[in-house]
Structure 1
Amino acid sequence: MQINVETKPVGSAAYDARKKRLVETIDRLYLREARAPLQKMISRIHPADMAAILDDLPPAHVVDIFHAIADTAMAADVFNQLPADRRTQLLTESSIEKLAGVLEHLPPDDLADLIGELPEDQREQLMALLGRDSKDEVESLLQYDPNSAGGIMTTDFFSLPHSLSVEEAIENIRSREDVEMVFYLYLTDEMGRLVGVVSLRQLLLTRAGTPLHKVMNRRVMKVTTDTDQTTVAMLVDKYRLLAIPVVDEDNVLVGMVTVDDVIDVIEEETTRDMLKMAGTSESETLTHSALKIATIRLPWLLAAFIGGLAATAVIGRYEEILGQVLVLSAFLPVIMGMAGNVGVQSATVAVRGLATGAIDVKDTLPLVLKELRVGLALGAFYGVILAVYGYFMHHSLQLGQVVGLTILGNMTGAALLAVLLPMIFQRMKVDPAVATGPFVTTAIDILGVLNYFVIASWIYKL
């Protein structure tokens, strides 16, 4: 029996209340040094929930309570689901010798990722403590780029010679309970080259004596070890695969990427793109140093700061108009803010679409035309509202015309600019997520202010 605290959605009050009680109970048992009851309670908790509980415990108690997990396989599962800062704490505050037995139970790809992130001295210590099989698997995985198919694949896959019969294949599967996620049976020739695939359903529905090569699908969706992890994720998502085989340059089957690894990649890429667009990075979440966080954010904010100075220079250029029509300054915040908001929306859609493959550079024209219509619709809607507001609040038809036309132009221009810039950066082989944020913000501010005063000069004939 297991106490699974996640019986309701993660955000529910019931889940939080139940988890809080478990956190308090486990911490109380730890403080009383009641090790046997503590271990008994932990053994009944699902690893995913135990990871969440450890994250809520006082930091000073986390390491000791983690090492109270008696089952090393469960401890490895818990460790694998801990947030990055808690994993770092365990690696820092525990001896490598104490952790080695736990870490050896991690899947080969996860263990390789972990070892690849360790400092050189800790890496050598841990590698020396691993068993021969685990060490060989890790070393083979560490040779690949961590962001490639080779870097995220597991070598714990299941394959059989294509010359076997269906009955022999089923017997082989029954004898290999330790293999990760056998959803597909990959078939190889005498040289280990991937030649086909059979689903478990197909295997069970075929006559026992049928040779595998007669029922296998020869058109195998596969990737090479150097395929980018984002491409792997796109393929798995597009074709609704549970796993995808990985081959080397000679088409020899060397591993597979499972759907849980793909989910991790998608989450990682989404987080990375959003943080890049905000002018920061994942390293910010792993540090408590205010100075380091400020250093990470500085370049992006510097670009926005320079853009703000340029907008200020534009306003100074039209100081005479402001002096004569002082009320224009009151509308500057809403004029700049609305354009910026539209720009952020359009840029987010474009960058995310490029990252997931939903949008391609060749789709630039249709996307631009679509955003033009969206910008015009939004600009017209808010332009009319602001024009009416300006007219009735300040009794000036000219003011209404200026702010209405400016909102129309700025929101339309912001939508176009925010979708064009990511496409241009993509074509230039520059990461759109990194460059789009500061460039879009700066350009919209400068052009928006300039457009405002040009229209004001025209309407007021100044």
Structure 2
Amino acid sequence: MFIDVSKTSPTQIIGDTGAKLRKLTETIERLHVRGATRPLEKIIHKVYPADLASVLASIPEVHVAPIFHSIPEAELAADVLIQVNDRVQRIILAETPDAQLTPILEKLPPDERVLLIREMEPERAERLLSELEKASQKELEKLLSYHPDTAGGIMTTEFFDLTGDTTADQAIRAVREHAEVEMVYYLYVTDAEHKLEGVISIRQLLLAKPQALLRDVMNARIITVSTDTSRESVAALVDKYRLLAIPVVDESQHLVGMITVDDVIDVLETETTQDMLRMAGTDKAEILTHSTFRIAWIRLPWLLAAFIGGLAATWIVRNFEGVLTQVIALGAFLPVVMGMAGNVGVQTATVTVRGLATGSLDLRDVWGVLYKELRVGLILGVFYGFTLGLFGWFMFGSLDLGGVVGFTILGNMTGAALLAVALPMLFQRIGADPAIATGPFVTTAIDVFGVLNYFMLATLLLDLPGAVS
């Protein structure tokens, strides 16, 4: 079933998801294949940019660029371009000629324009820069001079500011006359030298008396960031103070830009994704952008650390070969003993790393967190240790064997919880990324500790000869 464009109102296909979005995708693809240019343009006009971005992500790659090129206005094309996913964006950029891309770039907000330019080959980026208007060139070159992971690298230079002697009525008229400014959440008050003096929300402005001066109604207690503030710190401030935008100032307190909440959401999403991928020992775009050998090379160091840990565990097992030979049943419980400890470690480490990343955990909390995780590990260890101990007793008819596996589970799960808190916090203390600790170091440490604990308890509780020399 396809959408009848002639009978479709904007409210029927704008903001749709699920079945309707699938119908929309089929309709757009069918119109493109048929070469029905006018109906295609008509339906594109009725679709939200976000929905059109979803359509482009769902169709075969061969149709992506041609359908994007069917968007008649540069402004709409710009809105779609910044909302498509990375894969679709790369296809569009690769297959769109410079002459067609330049007017689209002109319609983008400065911060989004910078992100796209950074994704391009240097030669093409320079070529497109030279095609932009002089004002856009200068603005873009300034933004490109900042590191991409700082406030300067993600800010927009499109903000609204007026002097303190402006009346509320004059300010409202000025806002109306400058509708092109990206997002007017706040109006910033600056002095003659463009130094930031205060801020006033649009709501406060509308409620102020018409002849009231901005300096009399503004909030002089301003939350600001500098151009070299990390983007993670920016996101934390916006979240803490529930801001819709945050001003960016230079070392002399001159207002140079602002960061809007949509950019902060992008930062949070990016940071969360990066943390998860670091924990897995990989990187963001490896599958789509790297060759098979490059992907293997990226993953090799992480797996090497786990491999070395596995060798250490193997060496420990080999040294307790005599114990394992005397009680073959010990080998049957090795997978569950190790697996349960590893699962506890991953759970705890994930929570710890996320807490450190969001600021909800601090190094000052280390002893409190360790004590809490010790209790959690003990509770889980007692439950699963008792359960596995009973299982071992009934399965092999040996209470001693049940005691070994039960106490091992107790010790391993408790130790795993402690290691999974301590290692990420140690990494944070020495200035390394705590997310890295969750992968190879936590799992390796838990494996080595678990194997050693298992066979030492077996040696003691079963009164067996110790490890070989």
TM-score, reference length from structure 1: 0.96
Deviates more, 1:334-343 or 1:34-43: 34-43
| 2:10 counterpart of 1:2 | yes
Cα distance in structure 1, aligned partners of 2:330 and 2:359: 43
CA distance in 2: counterparts of 1:267 and 1:25, whole angstroms:
32
Query: In 1, are the aligned partners of 2:384 and 2:409 still within 8 Å (CA)?
Result: yes
Is the 8 Å Cα contact of residues 350 and 438 (structure 2) preserved in structure 1?
Answer: no
Q: Does 1:319 align with 2:321?
A: yes
Aligned 1:111-260 pairs, distance under 5 A: 111-260=113-262
CA distance in 2, matches of 1:5, 1:25: 11
Aligned to 1:12: none
Structure 1 residue 17: deviation in Å?
Answer: 2.3
The within-5 A match list for 1:415-434 is 415-434=417-436
Secondary structure of the corresponding residue to residue 104 of structure 1: helix
Assess if the C-alpha contact under 8 Å between 1:185 and 1:200 holds in 2: yes
- Matched-pair contact (CA < 8 Å) for 2:15–2:51: no
Counting only pairs closer than 5 Å after superposition, residues 27-426 of structure 1 correspond to structure 2 as 27-287=29-289, 289-426=291-428
Residues 128-165 of structure 1 show CA distances to partners (whole Å, capped at 9, x for unaligned) of: 11112221221111111101000011000001101212
The aligned amino acid for 1:444 is I
Amino acid at match of 1:457: T
Letter in 1 for 2:450: G
Please, what TM-score do these two structures have when normalized by structure 2?
A: 0.95
Residue type matched to 2:346 in 1?
A: V
- CA–CA distance in structure 2, aligned partners of residues 171 and 110 of structure 1: 28
What stretches of structure 2 of length at least 5 have no aligned partner? 1-8, 465-469
Q: Is the 8 A contact 1:42 1:69 kept in 2?
A: yes
| Residue 292 of structure 1, CA deviation | 2.4
Deviations 1:222-265, CA, capped at 9 Å, x for gaps: 10000000000000011110000000000000000000000000
Paired with 1:207 and 1:102, the residues of 2 have a C-alpha distance of: 41
Moved over 3 A (4+): 3-8
Query: Equivalents in 2 of 1:109, 1:286: separation in Å?
Result: 25
Contact 2:14 2:46 (C-alpha < 8 Å) held by counterparts: no
The DSSP-based 3-state class of the residue aligned with 1:187 is strand
Per the TM alignment, residue 302 of structure 1 is displaced from its structure 2 partner at its CA by 1.2
Residue type at the aligned position of 1:49: D
Q: Distance in 1 between matches of 2:31 and 2:290?
A: 30
Deviations 1:371-420 (A, max 9, x none): 11111111111111111111111111011100110000000000000100
Asked if structure 2 preserves the Cα contact closer than 8 Å seen for 1:3 and 1:45, the reply is no
Once superposed, what is the RMSD of the aligned Cα atoms? 1.3
Partners of 1:125 and 1:91 lie apart in 2 by: 14
Q: In 2 relative to 1, CA 220–426 (structure 1 residues): closer, same or farther, beyond 3 Å?
A: same
